[in-house]
Amino acid sequence: MVTIGKEFVKFLEGLLGLEFGKDLFYMRTPDVDTPVFWVIQNSGVVSWENKTNEKLKEYSFTLNFRDTSAENVDKTIEKVESILSKLKCIRFKCHYVYRISLSTLPSQDDVDSEDRYRGSLNITLHAYDKAQIDVEPD
């Protein structure tokens, strides 16, 4: 089954020039010393439903970035925020995202026990339920 989370990670891979399993991960915090992104799917809501049961769904994600340089974390998260805030409609393989919104602006956390800084963005994908396409299972 192709989930919207997997499609979002694949989309970020191309958009940001990342490689899944190397500098981009999904649903887990990687234990690497190099600069790295990871996506956590938080939750979502059905924001609207019409009489024919078509639904508008809002999926919530946190995009995290970690590096040993606080300045690089700031610059990278700001750059990603700028890129994402300009996007409109996106056609994934099995989902039609009609809007991407940032639920929070970039934030940065304190240094962790291994002297790495983490920045994050909360992102909401607004998708049409009816636009899901039947595809062969992965």
Q: What is the pLDDT of residues 76-91, one digit of tens each?
A: 999 999 999 999 888 8
Q: Which amino acid is located at 135 in the chain?
A: V
Q: Cα(7)–Cα(61) distance, rounded to whole angstroms?
A: 12
What are the E-state strand segments in 6-86?
24-26, 36-49, 55-67
Q: Cα(29)–Cα(96) distance, rounded to whole angstroms?
A: 28
Each residue's pLDDT tens digit, 111-132: 888 889 999 999 999 998 755 5
Indicate the DSSP class of residue 114: T
Domains in the chain, ordered, with CATH?
A: 4-128 (3.30.2000.10)
Q: What is the pLDDT of residue 45?
A: 83
Q: What is the pLDDT of residue 129?
A: 72
Mean pLDDT, range 98-106, rounded to an integer: 87
Q: What is the pLDDT of residue 135?
A: 53
Q: Cα(23)–Cα(103) distance, rounded to whole angstroms?
A: 24
- pLDDT band for 41, please (50, 70, 90 cuts): very high
Alpha carbon separation from 128 to 7, 44, 105 (Å, rounded): 14, 13, 25
Percent pLDDT > 90 in the chain is: 59
Q: What is the pLDDT of residue 138?
A: 53
H helix or E strand, kind and range, residue 13:
helix 4-16
- Residue reference for tokens 């799917």: 41
Q: What is the pTM of this model?
A: 0.86
